[in-house]
Amino acid sequence: MLKRVQHDIHQIIPLFFFEIDVVIYFMKKVFLLAFLFFFPAIAYSQPSITFDAENYDFGTVAPSGTIEHTFDFSNTGDEELVIEKLVPS
């Protein structure tokens, strides 16, 4: 009797692992489909910066001269635009 119980357990364990593999396979498919469904909403809702003029010619400037210019821009996207760092060139 003991030998038969061990034999039945060894038959059940591979089936249990097979069922887990099937569940994991379908879960991966569901997550992939959910990602593909929601990705366009994430990808298209972004901030977008638009400048009125992208460059300005200061002409000839004396070495001790001070120059100043204001660049006007606007956010044409549909999300909040955050400017974290400005670097002059």
Write out pLDDT tens, residues 40-70. 666 677 888 999 998 889 888 888 878 888 9
Q: Which residues contact 21 (CB under 8 A, 6 or more apart)?
A: none
Higher-confidence residue of 15 and 29: namely: 29
pLDDT at 32: 87
The DSSP letter of residue 79 is: S
pLDDT at 20: 72
How far is the C-alpha of 42 from the C-alpha of 46, rounded, in Å? 8
Higher-confidence residue of 88 and 49: namely: 49
Domain ranges of the chain: 2-75
